[in-house]
Amino acid sequence: MRAGGVLSFSNARVRDAVYQLATAALIAGVLYLLVSNAMQNMARQGIVSGFAFLSHEAGYEVGESFIAHSARSTYARTFVVGILNTLYVSAVGIVLATILGIVIGIARVSPNWLVARVSAAYVELFRNTPLLLQIVFWYAVIRQLPPPRQAHNPIEGVFLSNRGLVHPVPAADPIHGWMLAALAIGIAGGLAWRGWARRRQERTGRRPPTVLPMLLLILGPPSALWLAAGAPFALDMPTLRAFNFRGGTTHSPEFVALLIGLVAYVGAFIGEIVRSGIQAVAAGQREAARALGLREGLVLGLVVLPQSLRVIIPPLTSQYLNLVKDSSLAVWIGYPDLVSVSNTALNQTGQAVEGILIMMAVYLTISLSISLLMNWYNSRVRFRR
């Protein structure tokens, strides 16, 4: 709309565009002032800005690392160590918290009075206690465990002491790499089969079997390779030597405490999400399933849980993101995650702005990746009309 050849401000679209441009200009101006002020202060104090420090020698060792690292390693490699440690504890925590949350959520709606009350008490206890307090508590508990010579041995080959958790792992074999590749190919084949079965059902009304073919496609290739290689299977068992264990794999007290704290805390929230998702399914769906003669376990697994996913997935995504970000609390107990190694690096180099930017970029990338994956999965399970 024009007034006298000039765009009218009374036009809602024009007005919205002006407001958005003004807001963008304001934000850009604030960012410019902040950056220029930071650059001036750094120059006044003789601090050289930039990321050139990443190629310098770090001068300190990291207690836990998935890749080779020493005091002579560069800061860039040290940051990679912290990122890998963050990814590891986050990935294991997400898997375990999801399993725990599903169990707690199902228990919350159990007809068994004791099971329902115990799960409710668990949720109230862990949801209403600060996460940092829980992590510090578990760390103190692990530190009070006996030394390796008197370590607890709940399962054959598994030891728990004040040095952490030790357990056996499969002995390395060249065929393992090929088996992982075959497993990835099998998973892709299984997903393709399920998609084909769904499309055929939409066309013909008949759905081909999916569970058994998918299991064969996923487990068949790696199993065939394993058998062709002579079915190698050996465990690297931990054994007590002098004052510590040798063999197997060891998880430090810091890692164990952080993992338990994250899983117990986030698992309580996921349990409530699962409970609400189950209760969101109409009672008529359960009654119809029972009328068909399905047992309660099948009613839950085949009718209730699949329909509850549309309610569960969005808030579950938020809990996964919270778990990743909350893993930064590891700095309080000394686990060398990204925040911990970054703090050491910026204290030694004075490159505080660059260190914080690296941390922000890494957490942003992880969060966006999880969001994209969960949003894709949510689009697959939502109802289509």
Could you write out the three-class secondary structure of the chain?
A: CEECCEECCCCHHHHHHHHHHHHHHHHHHHHHHHHHHHHHHHHHCCCCCCCHHHHCECCCCCCCCCCCCCCCCEHHHHHHHHHHHHHHHHHHHHHHHHHHHHHHHHHHCCCCHHHHHHHHHHHHHHHCCCHHHHHHHHHHHHHCCCCHHHCEEEECCEEEECCEEEECEECCCCHHHHHHHHHHHHHHHHHHHHHHHHHHHHHHCCCCCCHHHHHHHHHHHHHHHHHHCCCCCCEECCEEECCEEECCEEECHHHHHHHHHHHHHHHHHHHHHHHHHHHHCCHHHHHHHHHCCCCHHHHHHHHHHHHHHHHHHHHHHHHHHHHHHHHHHHHHCCCCCHHHHHHHHHHHHCCHHHHHHHHHHHHHHHHHHHHHHHHHHHHHHCCCC
Q: Distance of CA 14 to CAs 3, 4, 27, 63, 171, Å? A: 12, 15, 20, 58, 68
C-alpha 240/C-alpha 301 separation (Å) is 44
Q: Give the pLDDT of residue 384.
A: 57
Dihedral angle, C-alpha 322, 138, 86, 324, nearest 10 °? 0
Q: What is the pTM of this model?
A: 0.81
Q: Give the pLDDT of residue 211.
A: 79
Dihedral angle, C-alpha 225, 226, 231, 234, nearest 10 °? 150
Q: Give the pLDDT of residue 376.
A: 87
| Sign of the dihedral through C-alpha 192, 197, 198, 203 | positive
Could you tell me if 84 and 256 are in contact, meaning their C-beta atoms sit under 8 angstroms apart?
Answer: no
Q: Give the pLDDT of residue 105.
A: 92
C-alpha 208/C-alpha 213 separation (Å) is 10
Q: Give the pLDDT of residue 289.
A: 77
Q: Give the pLDDT of residue 150.
A: 87
Residues 6+ apart with CB under 8 A from 126: 134, 264, 265, 267, 268
Q: Give the pLDDT of residue 153.
A: 85
Residues 6+ apart with CB under 8 A from 66: 81, 84, 85, 88
Q: Give the pLDDT of residue 27.
A: 92
Q: What is the pLDDT along the chain (385 residues), one digit of tens a residue?
A: 444 445 666 777 877 888 889 999 999 999 888 878 877 776 776 666 677 788 888 888 887 888 888 888 888 889 999 999 999 999 999 999 999 999 999 999 888 899 999 999 999 999 999 999 999 999 999 999 898 888 888 888 888 888 888 888 887 778 888 888 989 998 998 888 888 888 888 888 777 888 788 888 888 888 888 888 887 777 778 887 777 788 778 888 999 999 999 999 999 999 999 999 888 888 777 778 777 777 777 777 777 788 888 889 999 999 999 999 999 999 899 898 899 888 888 888 877 778 888 899 999 999 999 999 999 888 877 765 5
